[in-house]
Structure 1
C-alpha cells in the first residue's frame, strides 16, 4: 500500500471503529429490553421466571422483546465482521469476533423460535431436559448457543487484553463484569438441579445484565483501539 493509501486507511479506521462501537452499544441496550417488564403491564415473576417466558408465544408483548433480540443480532453480525476487517488479525481477537457474530445469529434464532405453551412430549414440543426443564423446545438450543457464544467472546477478548497488551478496558472493567456473569451462571447451573426455589430469575437477569454491560465495555474498547491501531503492538 502506498503512503497516501496508508494515510487514508488510518483516517478511515477511527471512523469505522466508531460505527462498530455504536452498533455494539445499541445492541447492548436492546439486549436489556427485558427491563421493560418493570414498566409494561406484564404479569411476570422476576424472581423465579426465565426471561424467555417474556417473549413466549401468546404473550401480549412478545413482539417488543422479540424485536429487541432481532435488532441485537442485526447489529452484532456486521459489527463483528467490521471488527475482523478493521483491526489487526490476532488469534484470540479473531475468535472473539467470530464468537460475537455467532452470538448475534443465535439471538436472532432465539426470537424466531420462541417458547411454546405446550406439554413436554407432545408433537412439536420436544422432550423434557434434565437441565432447565422449562426450556425443552428448540428455543433451548438457540439460547444455549447464544450464552456459549458470548462466553467464548468474553474469554477470548479478556485473554487478548492480557496477551497482546491491548484492549485495556477489557482487562480492567471487563474482567469484573466477566466474574459477575460467571458467578451468576454457576448459580443457575447449580441451583436449577436442586430442590426448592433459588431465585433463578434473578440469577438469569444478573447473567444477561452482565452480558449487556460487557458489550458496552467492548464498544468503548473498540473506540479506544480504533485510535491506537496504528501503534506497534508490544509483545511480552
Structure 2
C-alpha cells in the first residue's frame, strides 16, 4: 500500500469516526427526556407531550433545551460531512440533507419554545384561527413538525439506500425494526389525536422520539462498523479511494 493511499485511508476513517461519534452523541442527547423520570417534574408522561419539558417557565428547561442544542450542533456538521465525503447518489443525498434539516429544526425548537397559553383565549397562540393547520398555532409546533418530518425522511431514505445499494446492513436489520416501531407510534398519534377521549398520546410520542434516538445510534453504528469497506482494496491506481454510499464498490 502506497504512502498516499495510507493517508487517504486514514483521512476517510477519521472522517467516518467523526460522523459516527457526532450522530451517536446526538442520538443519546435526543433521549434526554428520560430524565423526566429522575427529576421532580410535575407532568403526566401518559398524556403530556415532550415539548412541555422545555416550555417557557419550566424548572428544568435549560437541561432539556441544552440537550436539543447539542443534537442540532452535532447533526448539522455531521450531515454536511457525510454529504461531502460520500458520492452524491439519490437516496443517500436525500438522507444527509434531511438529517441536516432535522438538526436545524431541533435548534428551532429550542429557540421557539412552547408557550403556556390557551389557543381559544390567546391570539398569540392562534386563538380564533382555523384548526386545519394546528402547526400554525405556535411556532414551536411548526418546528417540531418539521423536525419529525425531516428525520422520518432521513430514515426512509437511508433504509431505501441500504436495500438498493446492498450496504448498511445494520440499517437493513436493526434500523428497519426501529423505523417500523417509530412509524407505528406516529400512526398511533395521528389517529388518536383526531378521536375523542384519552389514548395515551404521551406514551405514543415517547415511543416515537425514543425510536428516533435508537435509529440515530443505528446509523452511527452502520457508519463505523462498515467503515472498513469504504476503502477499495482492489483499486488499480495507488492512492485511489472509492466511496459509494458509505461503502466501497
| Structure 1 residue 70, shift from structure 2 partner | 0.5
Indicate if the aligned counterparts of 1:53 and 1:115 stay in contact, CA closer than 8 A: yes
Residue segments in structure 1 that go unaligned for 5+ positions in a row: none
Residues 87-138 of structure 1: CA deviation (Å, up to 9, x unaligned): 2322110110000000000000001101111231534322466479698310
SS of the aligned residue for 2:48 comes to: coil
Indicate if the aligned counterparts of 1:88 and 1:229 stay in contact, CA closer than 8 A: no
SS of the aligned residue for 2:54 comes to: coil
Q: Which residue does the alignment assign to 2:160?
A: 159
Is 1:29 aligned to residue 52 of structure 2?
no
- The 4+ residue runs of structure 1 with deviation greater than 3 A are 3-7, 127-135, 231-234
Q: Which residue does the alignment assign to 1:19?
A: 18
Q: Which range moved further: 83-92 or 98-107? A: 83-92
For residues 91 and 109 of structure 2, the distance between their equivalents in structure 1, rounded to whole angstroms, comes to: 26
Residues 190-213 of structure 1: CA deviation (Å, up to 9, x unaligned): 001000000000000000000000
| Structure 1 residue 85, shift from structure 2 partner | 1.7
Residue segments in structure 2 that go unaligned for 5+ positions in a row: 233-241
Number of aligned pairs? 233
* Normalised TM-score (structure 2): 0.88
Q: Which range moved further: 157-166 or 112-121? A: 112-121
* Normalised TM-score (structure 1): 0.92
Q: Which residue does the alignment assign to 1:197?
A: 198
For residues 129 and 64 of structure 1, the distance between their equivalents in structure 2, rounded to whole angstroms, comes to: 34
Please tell me the root mean square deviation across aligned C-alpha atoms, in Å.
Answer: 2.1
Cα gap change, 1:44 to 1:132, in 2 (>3 Å)? farther
Mapping of residues 170-185 of structure 1, within 5 Å: 170-185=171-186
Cα gap change, 1:134 to 1:200, in 2 (>3 Å)? farther
For residues 217 and 129 of structure 1, the distance between their equivalents in structure 2, rounded to whole angstroms, comes to: 40
Indicate if the aligned counterparts of 2:33 and 2:50 stay in contact, CA closer than 8 A: yes
| Structure 1 residue 226, shift from structure 2 partner | 2.3
Higher alpha-carbon Rg = 2
Residues 45-71 of structure 1: CA deviation (Å, up to 9, x unaligned): 000000001111011111111111010
